[in-house]
A and B are shown apart, each in its own frame.
Chain A
Amino acid sequence: MTGTSFVSRLQQKFGDQITGSNLEAVDPWIEVAPESIAEVCQFLRDDEELAFDLLNCITAVDYFIADPKKAAKAGWEPHIDVVYHMSSVSKKHSLVVKVRLPRWKDGVEGQLPEVPTVSQVWRTADWHEREVFDLSGVCFTGHPDLRRILCPEDWVGYPLRKDYEMPLEYHGIRGR
């Protein structure tokens, strides 16, 4: 199956929940509305022709530039993309699904943006979502065990956000 047929098939099923796609990119991707990501993933896994049984990776990319002059030139509003890379062991094809989230929920700093978990679809997502939560600060609603995984439990901040600042001190250890 090719990128175009993926998109048409998904649009047929989910309609306007498929908010965008870029099939000319190096890795063609499809953008899905955050609230329906779980159903889309479920469908992607269970549909016999698609059969995306292997979730490779979940990544969050923070789009934010602190400098207002540069930010104006960037061409995008600050946001976070959660990127799902998936592939199929049986069909041997792969797909990139993106979800676009605000950097903070309702624009309130400190309120993590929310997206439904896909850990019930692929168990791989369990740890990957924890990692994204830990490093990029995205809250996966419905996740069974959303804790920090790489950083210590009492770590403050989300290191992979572009506005992250290393703490000056952590338990008596100098940070910077």
Chain B
Amino acid sequence: MPLELEDPRVIEFDVRTDEMLVNMGPQHPSTHGVLRLVLRTDGEVVSEVEPHIGYLHRCAEKIGENLTPRQWVPYTDRMDYLAGMNMNLGWSLCVEKLLDHQLSEKALHLRVIIAEMGRIASHLVGMGAYGLDLGSFSPFLYAFREREKILDLFEEACGARLTYSYITPGGCTADLPSGWLQRCADFLDQFEPIIQEYHALLTTNAIFIKRTAGIGVMSPEMAIQYGCTGPVLRGSGVDYDLRRDGEARYTEMYDGYAFEVISEQNGHYPKDHDYPAVPKDAVLGDCWHRFYVRMLEVVQSVDLVRQAIDRYSTASGDYGVPIKLTTKLPKGEAYLETEAPRGQMGFYLVSDGNAIPWRVRARSSSFCNLSVTADLCRGCLIADIPAVVGSLDVVMGEIDR
């Protein structure tokens, strides 16, 4: 911050400081992969942040122009590799939209179970890594302990722990193994009390609040201007969630589920009576709120999975048979966004009538969420940069595709 003095020479001669350009990343412990931020700093104060991306660019869209939609599913896994299931779901729904393929009731509930479990797993990493960004190591391992159990369940269902390719256009690759639902329900019962541990270690921790409350404040208008979505948008108090407000093809999955959008309305979060109150230093739209929205979404996903398990066991139909590899796509185009853990993940599919799409496009949520960094970090301290970038919870695989 430049000081305003009557005689500018005081600064010039007495406390003249030089600005310094610092490269934060692409090899840096807290940039969540290979993000590179070029900081212009004056001592500890950062006057300008410029993100440079593209270090993980793997030409996914170009590859998609040479593969059939089902063959491209594994590439969506590798976009947001922390929530592969949700990426699969987004792409599958987009293809089904173009094909106008209807799923059975059972397949829809199965997708809800899988997608919400994926959301829990992803938010656990987001939470743990955020603790790590702020220098608290243990919550990271506590988060991974629980995430491992979810990955075990996923492994049982599809054989993979990271790149699932489980949800494919037309349904899923396999039905759930026997006893899976019970194990899943057991996990939820065991997991739910543990969330309070996370709150004790991070959400209500005095140092954590000091580091996050009032830092990186983003107004709702700014969030929408930058196209921020997901917890980042809801952390600013915008009541918008594609699971409720999205396209019919997506929201029909959640028809009949009791579910509230997690965003602060009139100073209150849904169900926040069970969870720590908002500290008085926190400003709506700051890092703390973004983190808190994520934590509450975990609770809500637990609730949704419980409902989905009940409905799945009584639902009719089958888990959905994947479309044939060589299914010809109708001529036309379809764009569909789903609510992935990190925001609205959109897929755009243009077809010229062949089995191989003419053009595929992935609209990445982290891509838009990250673009706000330059504005949020202007004038903050170096230590706030991990706090702000961490609260956006970006995954570079999704940004660079």
Contact = CB atoms under 8 A, between A and B. Distances in A.
Interface residues of A, number: 34
Interface in A134-168: 135, 148-152, 159-160
A27 B350 CA distance: 11
B226 interface: yes
A140 to B, nearest CB: 15
A151 B400 CA distance: 9
B337 A151 contact: no
A160 B60 CA distance: 10
A176 to B, nearest CB: 12
A85 B98 CA distance: 16
B367 interface: yes
B399 to A, nearest CB: 9
B116 interface: no
B306 interface: no
Interface string A63-83: 000000000001000000001
B220 to A, nearest CB: 9
A31 interface: no
Contacts of B368: 124, 127
A128 B399 CA distance: 11
Contacts of A135: 61
Chain A interface main SS type: mixed
A61 B359 contact: yes
Chain B interface main SS type: mixed
Nearest to A74: B352
Contact of A56 (B97, B225, B337, B372): B337
A122 B222 CA distance: 10
A86 to B, nearest CB: 10
A57 B346 contact: yes
Nearest to B240: A89
B359 A59 contact: yes
A105 interface: no
A25 B98 CA distance: 10
Interface string B316-337: 0000000000000000111101
B348 interface: yes
B371 interface: yes
Given A85-B346, A149-B54, A123 B358 contact: no
A123 B221 CA distance: 11
B225 A124 contact: yes
Interface in B91-109: 97-98, 100
A89 B224 contact: yes
B227 interface: yes
Interface string A1-45: 000000000000000000000000111000000000000000000
Given A149-B54, A159-B62, A123 B333 contact: no
Contact of B371 (A74, A123, A151): A123
B210 interface: no
Nearest to A25: B332
Contacts of A62: 359
Given A26-B332, A26-B334, A56-B363, A150 B62 contact: no
Given A57-B348, A123-B226, A124-B371, A26 B97 contact: yes
Contact of A53 (B61, B224, B359, B367): B224
B378 interface: no
A96 B225 contact: no
23 contacts: A26-B97, A27-B334, A53-B224, A54-B229, A56-B227, A56-B337, A57-B335, A61-B358, A85-B346, A85-B363, A87-B337, A96-B335, A122-B225, A123-B227, A124-B225, A124-B226, A124-B371, A127-B371, A149-B54, A151-B54, A151-B57, A152-B54, A160-B61
